[in-house]
């Protein structure tokens, strides 16, 4: 128990929170972490397997981007879809996409409509400065739940996303940047009526 003058106690409360020691609010989070840890070590899909597949999926997506945006590598500028770090160091990685947020949301809606896959839960902001262009980022993770989604379906969804991103960027480049929220987005591939699956963050 800490005792002392009121000013001393108030100052101590501030430093307690700065040190991450506010047990009244951190306790439930610690309990949840412990429960999830126990759940993970009992899971049939070990971390090493998920980590290996995460790196493989990121490499696959980077290959799609390189295939669709060959000019990015030639120019020395970052491609309009990139990961940080480029090689994942865990089963979670940040994905940066260049473009106006409302247009990227519409592209994502088209991917969900065509492929039945939800690639991200929501953008978390612009992230750190990319130097040029307008960027959005989200956290992408590969937990046991995401492992159940067919790999070929995941690849098809990302391919559609990258192709639509290419159309958007080239429309921007050749039309003077005249893109409105109501501008049509071309459908890539035949329509598919599949139940949308979530491939999102928060599934460690």
Tell whether 25 is covered by a domain.
no
Q: Give pLDDT, residue 14.
A: 84
Q: Give pLDDT, residue 131.
A: 67
Q: What is the pTM of this model?
A: 0.69
Q: Give pLDDT, residue 163.
A: 94
DSSP code per residue over 163-201: HHHHHHHHHHHHTTT---TTS-----S-------EE--S
Tell whether 40 is covered by a domain.
no
Domain residues for the domain of 179 are 47-198
Tell whether 39 is covered by a domain.
no
Q: Give pLDDT, residue 201.
A: 36
Q: Give pLDDT, residue 3.
A: 83
Q: List the CATH number of the domain containing 95.
A: 3.90.1150.10
Tell me how far apart the alpha carbons of residues 176 and 173 are, in angstroms, rounded to a whole number. Answer: 6
Q: How many domains does the chain have?
A: 1
For the CA atoms of 105, 153, 56, 100, the dihedral, rounded to the nearest 10 degrees, stands at -10
User: How close are the terminal C-alpha atoms of the chain, in Å?
Assistant: 37
The low-confidence residues of the chain, meaning pLDDT below 70, are 1, 20-26, 43-44, 129-131, 172-204
């Amino acid at each position: 128990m800490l005792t002392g003058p009121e000013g001393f106690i108030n100052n101590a409360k501030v430093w307690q929170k700065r040190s991450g020691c506010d047990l009244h609010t951190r306790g439930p989070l610690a309990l949840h972490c412990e429960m999830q840890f126990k759940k993970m070590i009992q899971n049939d899909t070990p971390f090493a397997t998920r980590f290996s597949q995460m790196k493989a999926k990121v490499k696959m997506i980077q290959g799609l981007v390189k295939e669709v945006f060959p000019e990015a590598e030639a120019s020395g500028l970052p491609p309009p879809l990139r990961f940080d770090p480029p090689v994942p160091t865990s089963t979670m990685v940040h994905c940066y996409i260049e473009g106006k947020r409302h247009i990227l949301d519409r592209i994502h809606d088209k991917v969900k409509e065509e492929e039945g896959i939800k690639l991200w839960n929501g953008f978390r902001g612009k992230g750190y400065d990319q130097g040029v262009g307008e960027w959005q980022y989200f956290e992408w993770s590969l937990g046991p739940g995401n492992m159940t989604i067919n790999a070929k379906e995941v690849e098809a969804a990302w391919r559609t996303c990258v192709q639509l991103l290419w159309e958007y960027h080239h429309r921007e480049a050749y039309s003077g940047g005249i893109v409105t929220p109501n501008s049509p987005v071309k459908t890539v591939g035949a329509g598919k009526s599949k139940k949308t699956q979530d491939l999102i963050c928060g599934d460690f």
